[in-house]
Structure 1
Amino acid sequence: MPGLTKIPHALSPSQERKLVDFLDEKFLDVTRNFKKRSDPSSTLRTLSSYLTETHTILSLILQIPPVDPSTSLRTTLLLRITGEVMGSIGGYQPVVETLPQLLDWLNDMDRGWLAVLRSQEWDPEERLGHDLVISEDGNSAVPIRSTPISQTERTRLRSLLLSGTTKLEEWLERLVTDDDNYNDALERLGLQQSFDDLFAGTLTEMGALRGFEVNVPADMEGTC
């Protein structure tokens, strides 16, 4: 129908179970290979390989529809990967060549959290969130609920990002370069501002959260 976009649906209970089982296995595989990262048999011997593997998980989590009851699942899983990744980066030696990839990963996480905080759908191609616009003319019938993250989740998220940033700064001090310190090295590489601005979008958004409803036109019920 002209003027309407696809109506998002929450995952069914069966879809949620399959997704959680799949992601649990992916998390376990990442943990196993991270723990033995110094072993030749590990698939995650470098930070680059770790970021590549976990980015696939991040992208999949972000694509969970922001529609209740799936909304909380996306938040729970995103908190999980945020904590695991921020806690694992320090297990690798910082390498200059990998820093741009790391920044891309962390910026995707920042944009992903912005999408969650704003109850937006995630576009994996553009790597951005988009509002759940259902009708151009505002006709309504069935409200789609997208419950905002709770105060407890907001507190945990803020803690993960702030403590993770502190650990990241300590990790960067181990960067081996020809410069006197890592700040000089980052400046020379044109990366200093990017590291200074990590998670600025998410942390700024944290103070302006609210729930929202998207209204679905009556004649579109059950058509998607």
Structure 2
Amino acid sequence: MPAGADPGSQSTRNQLPTTANAQGRRNQLYKKLTAVQEGRVRNWVEEQFIHLDAEWIKRQKPGARLTTLSAYVDMIMPVHSVILQIPPTPSSTSIRFQFFLRLTIDIFDRSTMYHHSPDVARSPSDEQHEELLKLVDCFCLFDEGWVAILSSQYWDIDKKKPLEYEPGTQKNNSRTGLSETEKSMLQSTLINGKAAVDDG
């Protein structure tokens, strides 16, 4: 799948269980990804990280897409959505965690640079307040994402939060499956990221 492809397109949605038409197709939420589907999703997300890195590197060049914090948030949120649509099954838990941790580290590191680095263009002062509000909303979605991952819940792409189970539906009873190393990595990321944002 090409970098920058729309994760909301039909081709992408066919690769992942979704909450679209939840009443009529809820059972598909409990299917794990096939090896082919998981490979496609893995490749797509990796391509998006490469694309994001490339756009970040050229952020000061004429016509760059990531000249503002708002633009950066807009670009990472589709990736956020696709990662969380990876089902919390034993075979997919690790890549869901690793990809989301990587995206979390990126948003912490790069969002603070828009206000501290002389190498990054800043928005006019009258727009910075709105950008910060947008960043707060973004962090809230990351919080919800970690709730979904740590509780092994599916992601509701319409409500943008962990899926709420309804009476009579099958609930995923698997645990997080995170190793002690992964838990330590997450704890360190959140502590350091929060400190950086607070300092900002």
Give the TM-score of the pair, scaled to structure 1.
Answer: 0.66
Question: Structure 1: where are the runs of 5+ without partners?
Answer: 172-224
Larger radius of gyration: 1
Quick check: which one's strand share is greater? 1
Counterparts of 2:180 and 2:165, CA distance in 1: 23
2:83 matches 1:61:
yes
Select which of 143, 146, 153 maps to 1:113.
Answer: 146
What is the match of residue 26 of structure 1? 48
Q: By percentage of residues, which structure has more helix?
A: 2
User: Deviation of residue 37 (structure 1)?
Assistant: 1.3
Of 145, 157, 160, the residue aligned with 2:186 is 157
Rate the CA distance shift 1:164–1:144 in 2: closer, same or farther, 3 A: closer
Tell me the residue number matched to 1:74: 96
Q: RMSD of aligned C-alpha atoms?
A: 2.6
Q: Distance in 2 between matches of 1:137 and 1:131?
A: 10
| Distance across 2 between alignment mates of 1:154 and 1:147 | 10
Give the CA deviation at 1:170. 2.1
- Quote the residue 1:38 is aligned against: 60
Cα distance in 1 between the residues matched to 2:169 and 2:46: 42
* TM score, norm. by length of structure 2: 0.74
Shift of 1:148: 2.8
1:6 counterpart = 2:27: yes
Q: Alpha-carbon deviation of 1:130?
A: 2.2
1:6 is paired with a residue whose SS is helix
Q: State how far apart, in whole Å, the 2-side matches of 1:120 and 1:147 are.
A: 9
What CA distance in whole angstroms lies between the structure 2 residues aligned with 1:137 and 1:105?
A: 30
How many Å apart are 1:38 and its aligned residue? 1.5
- Answer with 8-17 or 97-106: which moved more: 8-17
